[in-house]
Amino acid sequence: MTADAIASELEVSTRTVLRDIDALSTAGVPVYAERGRLGGFALLPGFRSEFPGLNHDEALALLAAVGSKNGDHALGLGSAVASALRKVMDALPDGHHDTARTSARRFLIEPEADLLSRRTATEQIPVAVMDSVRRAVLEGKKLRILYAPTGRDAQWRNVDPIGLVTVRGKGYLLATRNGEDRTYRLSRVEEAAVLTEPAQRPDNVRLDRMWNERSARFRNGDAQMTVSARIHPTRREELANTALTVTDEDLDGDGRLRITLTFQDERHAEWALWQLGKDAEVIAPPSLQDGLYRRALGIANHYRPRDQASANARTGEI
């Protein structure tokens, strides 16, 4: 490929191309010139760049880390991670190629289900939403999101994005709104748009420390409710995904799962347990049992048969 053709492709000057080719050659990259009418610059056939100093364990760590799909999926980076891994593998020294691949097969990180066949719920985040959120975080722009908190209608709000966190396959946006700390579950963002106004946020941030501080405040809220319940094991992930924490769980003799969870408040707990219907039995607290009873009684009264004939027809009696 001629220097002029390379310059046109990269939209730089021919002088820049010649200077860079000289620098590559000095660095040990086997670039050579072919003279003649069809000549130009080419790489030595079979050449492959290597990561200097990348040993077997480091190569294995890269491959094993990608075995966990939760993080890249939660942040919408699945295809980028796969592409990056291919490039890393192509650039590994010959001595580590096959060995690293074979060794990585001996590790399984975060499989789809545990030993009780309880599947790990995978959040579905629209690509357009994830692209906008990620771009706002990286470019430092304000973000407008249509967000639906648990049990409430979605509302638009403008936020200052700080960073993205992924935990057990769930993605979160750490942000501020009107100067106050806010944490948003990415799966509950229905729409997102990057604004032109710069985000008001610190230049330097320790996301790990910020996450731990927000997590502690979240767990210690005054209105939170701890619930003990017995549920059908197949509904475990559905309920756990709506709770703040799951602190204890064990199988009863009848196959039901006894579980302890923390919810944001009593309304949140009542909504979450109601979704499970007869697949959940609240053991404590009594106030939540009363709330579910009142809710069920209200539904029953709403659909109360108008006469005995209607009641018999519904129950199959004559």
pLDDT band at 259 (very low <50, low <70, confident <90, very high): very high
> Quick one: what percent of the chain has pLDDT higher than 70?
68
Six token digits for residue 102 = 């074979």
Residue 156 exposed, middle or buried by CB count within 10 Å (0-12, 13-18, 19+): exposed
**Under a CB-based contact definition with an 8 Å cutoff, are residues 145 and 156 in contact?**
yes
Q: Among 1.10.1740, 2.30.30, 1.10.3470, 3.30.1380, what is the CATH number of 127-212?
A: 2.30.30
pTM: 0.51
Boundaries of every domain in the chain: 3-43, 56-105, 127-212, 225-303
For range 150-172, the mean pLDDT: 87
For range 267-286, the mean pLDDT: 91
Residue 77 exposed, middle or buried by CB count within 10 Å (0-12, 13-18, 19+): middle
Which has the higher per-residue pLDDT, 107 or 240?
A: 240
Domain 225-303 coded CATH 3.30.70: yes
- The gap from C-alpha 188 to its chain's centroid, in whole angstroms, comes to 12
Reported as a single tens digit per residue, the pLDDT across 65-111 is 655 555 555 566 666 666 666 666 666 666 666 666 666 666 666 66
Assess whether pLDDT exceeds 90 at residue 293. yes
Per-residue pLDDT at 228: 93
Handedness of CA 205, 134, 186, 71 (dihedral sign): negative
Per-residue pLDDT at 224: 80
Which has the higher per-residue pLDDT, 9 or 228?
A: 228
Assess whether pLDDT exceeds 60 at residue 122. yes
